[in-house]
Structure 1
Amino acid sequence: MMVLTEADKTLAGLRILVVEDNFLVASALARRLTSWGCVVLGPVGSVEEGRQLLKSSERLNGGILDINITGGTSAPIAQEMESRGCPFFFITGYASPMALPEHLKSHRRLQKPLDEATLRSAIVQEFGAN
């Protein structure tokens, strides 16, 4: 049985879409979010899978989107989330400018490898907490 700390309880129940095509990164991120009490949708590694999850998810608190994924970028997923009024932020392993449409570049971007404190802070600030 998982026991949540007081800090974890602030994130408990948040439903977060994870789009990441690197299996090891996706697994580690999903484990970390789950350990904080979040409900992980995915992880998925393609635009098509991400869109399918968005369509089938009635309630979503936010999304963590790797910029460069199999077959291109996560921009189409980000645009769909934006049109639904659903917050998200990007993660990337690249230091160079983002390969995203200009209007998406203003969204938060975290550099991989992800630091636990930075990730938690971004989730609280972007998605709110319970």
Structure 2
Amino acid sequence: MSSQKDPPLKGLRILVVEDQAPIALQLEDMLIESDCEVVGPASRVGQALRLLSEQPVDAAVLDLNIAGELVYPVADALDARGLPYIFSTGYSPSDLAAPYRRRRVLQKPFSRRVFIKAIRETLQQRSG
């Protein structure tokens, strides 16, 4: 096992796109406990795009279906900026449109440990 410590999350700005308030709050709590700064949460695709254009963001966690609208425009905006993201959804990974299936998908519900590990791995893939 490598002696290299997990990359620090302290100060990273994570955009949260989630339309269910209890889940958004849970994600926010998990990120804050890991010393991240939360951007949002955004409960609509348009709101998420606005936040992304107005505030610095290091990564994002995206629910697939936001108030009946698919989150792909936000994923595309993140891709255009070279920013990493994960999907957090109750849907199966196979339900994602083909261009997005290579992305990390966490199926709800998931633990804080699994969530933070996914964020770390996604950030490492970007920098590595």
TM-score, normalised with respect to structure 1: 0.85
**Are the aligned partners of 1:9 and 1:37 in contact in 2 as well (CA < 8 Å)?**
no
Q: Which residue of 1 aligns with 2:110?
A: 114
Paired amino acid for 2:51:
L
In the TM superposition, what is the alpha-carbon distance from 1:61 to its structure 2 partner? 1.1
Equivalent in the alignment of 1:69: 66
Q: Secondary structure at the match of 1:41?
A: strand
Question: 1:43: how far off?
Answer: 0.6
What does residue 12 of structure 1 align with?
10
RMSD: 2.0
Query: Residue 15 of structure 1 contacts residue 40 of structure 1 at CA under 8 Å; is this kept in 2?
Result: yes
The answer on whether the counterparts of 2:93 and 2:101 sit within 8 Å (CA) in structure 1 is: no
- The residue that corresponds to 1:82 in the other structure is 79
In structure 2, C-alpha distance between the alignment counterparts of 1:23 and 1:8, rounded to whole Å:
30
The CA deviation at 1:117 is: 1.4
- Alignment check: 8 A CA contact 2:94 2:101 kept: no
Q: Is the 8 A contact 1:11 1:37 kept in 2?
A: yes
Aligned counterparts of 2:116 and 2:72: Cα–Cα separation in 1: 23
The separation in 2 between residues aligned to 1:19 and 1:8, in whole angstroms, is 25
Q: Does 1:60 align with 2:57?
A: yes
Show structure 2 runs of 5+ residues with no match. Answer: none
Match of 2:36 in 1: 38
SS in 2 for 1:60: coil
Is the CA contact 2:6–2:120 (under 8 Å) kept in the aligned structure 1? no
**Paired residue for 1:102, among 77, 92, 98?**
98
- 1:7-53 deviation digits (Å, cap 9, x = unpaired): 89821101100000000000011011111110000111111000000
**Structure 2: distance between partners of 1:87 and 1:117:** 19
How many aligned residue pairs are there? 121
